[in-house]
Structures are given as C-alpha cells and as structure tokens.
Structure 1
Amino acid sequence: MSDTAVRTPLWRERRFATYWAGQGISQFGDRITGLALPFIAVTTLHASAPTVGLLTAAVWAPNILSLFVGSWVDHQPRKRSLLIVADVLRAVVLLSLPVAHWLGVVTMTQLVVVALLAGLGQVLYQTAYPSFFVSLVRRDQFVEANGLLSSTRSLSFVAGPAVAGGLIQVLTAPVALVVDAVSFLLSALLLRRVRVEDRPVEPPDTSLLARSRDGLLLVVHHPYLRASLACVTTINFFNFVAAALLILFASRELGLGAGSIGLALGVGATGGLLGAVLAGRVTRRLGVGVTIAVGAVLFSAPFAALPLADGPVEVRMAVLGLVEFVSAFGVMLLDVPLNALQTAVTPDAVRSRVVGAFSTINYGIRPVGAVLGGFLGEWIGVGTTMVVSAVGGSLAVLFLLGSPILRTRTIEELDDSTTEIAGRPA
C-alpha cells in the first residue's frame, strides 16, 4: 500500500464516497419518519401516552430477532445485496401509509405493522453492514470512516427535523413519508454502484440455533464486548423511556407545533454534528475509553432539564434545543470510538452474529423502555419520567469501571489478542 493511498482523505475515495452519499440521503429521510409516525398517532389518531409508547416499541421490537438474523447473515456471501434488499423493503412498507391516507383508512394497527416491518428491514441492514464495512475501508480508517458516517447522521438531525416539520405541516404526516421511501430507493441505487470484494464464508456446520447461541456466548464472555453491551443497553433502556414521550411532551406539555418542534430539535442536533467532527480529536486527546465514558454521561444526563422548560414559546424551544444539543454531542463521543473499538475486536467470521447478539439485547431493550416510559408518563407524569430517564442512563457509565475499555487509548493497540477468550480464539 503506497504512502499516497494512506494520506488520501477517505471522503475522496470513490467507493466510500458513493456509499456515504446513499447513507446520507437515507438518514435525512429517516428524520421525516421519526417525526411523522408519532405525529400521526398523537394528532391524527389522538393516541394516549401508553399507545405512543407501544408504537415506539414496535419500531424496535424486531431487534429481538437480530441474534437469529445475524447468525443467518454470517453465512451469506453477498452482504451488499442484503443491504439493498433491506432498503427496498423499507421503501415499500412506508409507501403504504400515504396510500392509506389518500383512501382515508389510516389506523393505529397499520402504524404498528409499518413500524414492525420497517424495523425488520433495519435489523437485516444492521446485521449485514459490519462485514460490508470492513470490506469497504481499511482497519486504520475505522475511526475516520465512523466519524464521517456519524457526521452525516448528525447533520441529518440538524436539517432533517426542521424540514420534516415543515413537510408535515404542508403535506400532512402520511404524505411526507413518501420522501423517506424515495430516500431508501436512492440509497439502494447508490449501493448497487459500490463494488466491494465479498469475503469468503464457510458453509454452516451447525444449526441456526447453535450458531446464535455461540454468538451470544462470545459477546457475554468477551471482556470488551461484555462491558460495552452492559453500558449501552442500560443507556438505551433509560433513553427510550424518555424518547417514547419526547414528541408527546413537546406537543402537549410545551404546547409546540410540528414546525417549532422540528426547528428546536434541528438546532439542537448541531451538537451531534459538532461531536462527530470533534470525536476523533477528543479521542486522541483523552483516549478511546475515557471518551466513551464521557459520551455515555453526556448522552443521558440532559433529559433531566426538560421539565424546566417554561415561559414564552422561544424559551421552551430553547430548552428543548439545548437538551438535544448536549445529548447529541454526547452520543457522538460515545458512538464513534465505541463503534471503531467493537469493529476492531470482533473476529471476521462471526461479525454478523455478534452484531445480531449485541442488537438483540441492546436494541431489544428499547421497546421495553419505550413501553415503560409510556406507562410511567401516565402514572408519575411526563416531566418526572424524563428525570428518571436521565439519572438511570447516566449511571450506565459504572459498567465501564474496571473494564479494559476504560484503559484503551488507541484502536491500533487492539491487536489479535483482543479476540481471544479464556486463552482460545473467539
């Protein structure tokens, strides 16, 4: 490999840039769905807090199947094709809502079914992605690539909610979903242009259930993966207690419309863009482990400030935006180095099943948190529930104490010995 190739910025490499563009388009579309689905439930169908919580849970419930999907994906040679199938599936599912709207037959049942099927497409995508990713970029580019991909995601949270709010007000929420469906189709078209070398896979020599069990055991026994799983699962549980009620809180408690909510969230999301840009620099200064720990706290703690939002509309919007800013900054400090670390310590042959096992627990806990958030909002009030979420999520950092993650300074120091468990290869 030449020195020139090493020095070439990743964003100038054609294959990566093509995938990056498709991912960015899809992320912007996702911001519309993220706002439109709960808005349909809250404003059109007049859903209660527990019902909104159940809808949020439906989005993430398919992740419970990630362990089995990942174990199946591991033995599929063409991971890029699976990514394309996942994009097309989600596009078709989302298009059903505007069609139902035009026919005047939108129901809560359909919202839940759309959430479940779109979530299933997301599970397929996220389990196939890691093997595609390591074929797309080199090991020394992991942090840079994750930083660029995360910056696009953060940028989508800056402009996306404001655009989504405007589209929802002008077109109505169901019709605005057409934009997200189109974004998935564009992502699929760009993925077809990304040529990567398919890595050889071994034919399965055990049952799907046995392979799924092995993936779960690897995660549970691996010192890096176990600690990171405990930390992020706790964060996801408590953050979804709050996330399930965020749109309801902003709409009913703060009295904000779709445009105001989208604008506040969009301005606040600049924290994520800033975090993605600075994550590499902060990681080099503090070390991988410490940066992850700082991000874990900053991601969760700001929700405690939401009940303080009071006064004129501008003040309420400012508090909502500030909470989003700090939280979004924190999640980038958590995600960028942690994703790079997990990629580095996971053996090639089991990437998808490891991601599947990880997602089954980490994402599978999200619907539980969302349902609990809906009922807590009904029982103790939405504001108090936000405080509970902030405290519980912040305490997740305790799982990193004493783990090798906290002692890790660079990704490069994570050599092959990190993929061994109890003296044997993982």
Structure 2
Amino acid sequence: MSQSPESTAEVPQRSDDSPVEAVAPTAVRDAPTGSLWRDGNFLTMWSGQALAQVGSQVTELAIPVLAVLLLQASELEVGLLNAAGVAAFLVVGLPAGAWIDRMRKRRVMIWADAVRAAALAALPLLWWAGVLEIWHLYAVALVVGVATVFFDVSYQSIIPSLVRRNQIAEANGKLEATRELANIGGPAIGGWLIGIITAPFAILATVGTYVASFIALLLTRDHEQPRAADDREPILREIGEGLRWVLGNPLLRRIVGTTAISNFSSTLSFTLLPIFLLRELGLTPAAMGVIFSLGSIGGLAGAAATPHIVRWIGEARAIPVSAIGFGVIACFLPLAATFPAVAFPLLVAQMFVGSFTVLLYNITQVTFRQRITPGRLLGRMNASVRFCVWGVMPLAALLAGALGTWIGVVPTMWIGAVGQLLAALCVVIGPFWTMRELPDAQH
C-alpha cells in the first residue's frame, strides 16, 4: 500500500573490502551465465516470493478494513496499529543485522515465513470465535513485524550468494517487478476476497502464500559461505561497524537521509489512508483495492523502465530525478479531498507516478549498496539502513494518529505531503548531478 522508498527492497557483505565473489565463490562459479530466466535456483526462490508478495498485499488491505469497518477503530487506534507493524525495525533492527550476519540467511527466511503464517492464522480463528479485539491486531502486527525484520534483511542480503555479481541488478529488477505485479493484483484480489468471505478469512490467503514461500525456500540452494567463528566480535561492536559503514559513505548517507525523511512523511499520510478512503471519501474496500491496483501499474512500468532511464541520464542522476518525482506527486493525495468529484483519477495518478518513481529510486540505490558493501557487512548494512529509514515509521504512525485526532485527517496528510517534497533536498543538493555513474566497490 505504501509507496515509500525502501518499502520492501534493499540489499548487501567482508571487512577486507573484497568483492562479492570472494564471499560466495561457489555461487559465482555455479550460477548460470546470461539471463536469470535460465537459473532454476533463482526462479524457485523468486516464485515463492511472488506468491508471498501477493499474499502480503491482501493482508495490507484486509487488516485496515478489519480495524476500521469491523472493529470501528479510531484515528489513534489506526496509528497504533500501523506503529505496531513497523516498530520492530526501530527496536530490533540493528541487532537483527548483526545476528543475521552470523546465520545462514535462507534459514532465517524459512523460520520467518513460518512465524508470520502462524501469527496471521490466529486472526480468523479469533474472529470466528467471536473474541477478536483491537489489541489482538496489535499483538499480531508486532509478531509479524519482528519476523519481517529478519526476513527482509536476510532477503536483501542473500541475492549476491544466489547470482553472479553482474546479475545483481537484473535480480533486483525482477524482484521489484514481481512486487509491483503483486501490488497490482494483490489489492484487487484482496478487495474481492473481503467482499466474498470477509476480511478475517481473506487473511487466510496470505497464510497460504507464506506457506508456499516457506516450501520454495526449502528447495532453494543458497551457496552462502558462513562466517568463521573467529571472525566475530561483540555484538555492539559489530552493530557499530555496520552503522559506520552506512553513515561513513557520503553518497549513501545522503540516500539514507532522503529515504528516512520521505518514509517518515509518507507514513503520516498512509497511516490515515484507510480512514481517508473509507470514511472521508466513502469508498468501498473493493474501490480502495482497485485504486491501489491501478496505481501499482506505475511500479511495474518503473521496474521495466529503470535500466533504460539509467542508461539515458546516468545511474547517479536517476537518484535525485526520482526523488523529485515522488516528492512532487505526493501532494496529489490530500488534493483529492479538495476535488472529490475527480478524487478517483487523482488518487490513481498519484499512486501510478509515485510507484514509478519509487521503483526507479529503489532499484538504483539498492543495486549501488549491494555493489559497494563488503560481504561480511551485508546483513548489518541492510539492517542499519532499515533502522534509519524504517525506524522512523512507528514514530510517524503514532504522530499521525495524534495529529489525525487533533487537527483532522486531511491536514495531517498535507503535512506528510510537504515533508516528502522536502525529503528530496538531501540528494538534490549534492554531488549526484555532477556524476553519471555511481562508484563501484573498492578492490
């Protein structure tokens, strides 16, 4: 639902600053050359993630509908629910990266899928028993959020051990395109399922897709070379090493600044979006799903267009160009309240352009991060970035609930829109315009 940068994809690894190949030599030698369409191992993992992405979109629609329409949640309660879903990135995001760098990432993803499926399965059971309350949604959101931290950091860190170094950008593009296909189909499917079997039981569809992802990961070969036991330091020192790597790179530091400010601001808007669409504009869950689906076509187009845009204007310039794009278009969201007669096309346009520019931004900056990060730091780099750019989101969600109660839904969304516009300044004012290509890893 959210179009924030770093919404799902980021990425990531060895203190000697050696290239990715030195970390996973088996993967580099064994992975097929050419297109990843011929790589059965990558396709197995990719297919499981495709199903899981569709399922997650169903739940992103079903849980807010469940809270707003069935449990009559207030603005503050919706803010608390959204904060619960992303609180784990603030609370356990940094240590998770250090722990994941000591573990086999595919195994972490398998366990995370199992936990997410079990936690979500509890909601329809509680509803069927007639005892479902808003605090149950908070609890499930917290559990799923913790599992998602471990899954996402591992997911973004495993790519270099599955494909060759020159295939990383292609892999990121395919994964992002799949996410956008899920964004197109998932909300529409979710709206249809909610109308047919109600929101609680629509969540069971997500449970099934997480089980499918679990099975696909069991069948995937990861080729990861675990870190030696003597290559470990105290956990706090390792966390600090990851943070220093992220904040010590001037280009990456600017990217993190833009992403963090944009995510904070967009969370102000998107936290209250279900109330805005379902109550303020009087839309149905099905219409809400259609808006998200049509808008997400822009993300698919962005994933397909990114290689061409990067070749045209350069990798470095694609960063500020895309940041300007998703900053400007953010203003269309609250503008829909001013022109209710054309609210539907305004919302679709906002979602379409926002998704397109966010995908251009994410694919470009994620590939840059994967390329330059030493192998042993991949998990900590991703976790450090996620801590900075997602850790602000629970705070913003709580603020959105408070502001929505105090000044109203639409004024809060305008504050979020202006914040997204200002977020672009971190990369607009800087060296990106004077470069064409972003630097490679130091050998």
Does TM-score exceed 0.5, indicating one fold? yes
Equivalent of 1:43, from 69, 73, 83?
Answer: 69
Q: How does 1:20-419 map to 2 (within 5 A)?
A: 20-64=46-90, 65-76=92-103, 78-203=104-229, 205-309=232-336, 315-401=342-428, 403=430, 405-410=432-437, 413-416=439-442
SS in 2 for 1:416: coil
2:312 maps to a residue whose letter is R
Contact in 1 for aligned 2:327/2:422 (Cα 8 Å): no
CA apart distance, 1:218: 2.0
SS in 2 for 1:353: helix
1:256 maps to a residue whose letter is L
User: How many residues are paired up?
Assistant: 413
Q: Is the alpha carbon distance of 1:219 and 1:390 closer, same or farther for their aligned partners in structure 2, counting shifts above 3 Å?
A: same
CA apart distance, 1:404: 5.0
Where structure 2 has 5 or more consecutive residues not aligned to the other structure, the ranges are 1-27
Contact in 2 for aligned 1:261/1:317 (Cα 8 Å): no
Cα distance per residue 1:380-419 (max 9 Å; x no partner): 22222222212211221211246555555346x51316xx
1:165 maps to a residue whose letter is G
Contact in 2 for aligned 1:25/1:183 (Cα 8 Å): yes
Contact in 1 for aligned 2:327/2:424 (Cα 8 Å): no
Higher relative contact order (CA closer than 8 Å, sequence separation 6+): 2
**C-alpha separation in 1, matches of 2:78 and 2:434:** 41
Contact in 2 for aligned 1:74/1:351 (Cα 8 Å): yes
**C-alpha separation in 2, matches of 1:387 and 1:188:** 40
CA apart distance, 1:210: 1.9
Where structure 1 has 5 or more consecutive residues not aligned to the other structure, the ranges are 418-426
Cα distance per residue 1:331-382 (max 9 Å; x no partner): 1111111110111111101111111111112111011111112222222222
Regions of 4+ moved over 4 Å = 310-314, 401-408
**Seq. identity, %:** 35
**C-alpha separation in 2, matches of 1:162 and 1:94:** 20
CA apart distance, 1:135: 0.5
Contact in 1 for aligned 2:102/2:226 (Cα 8 Å): no
CA apart distance, 1:53: 1.1
CA apart distance, 1:306: 2.7
Contact in 2 for aligned 1:158/1:266 (Cα 8 Å): yes
Contact in 2 for aligned 1:284/1:410 (Cα 8 Å): no
Root-mean-square deviation (Å): 2.1
Cα distance per residue 1:44-81 (max 9 Å; x no partner): 111111210111111100001111011111112x2111
**C-alpha separation in 1, matches of 2:94 and 2:435:** 27
TM-score (norm 1): 0.92
**C-alpha separation in 1, matches of 2:101 and 2:338:** 54
SS in 1 for 2:186: helix
Contact in 1 for aligned 2:327/2:423 (Cα 8 Å): no
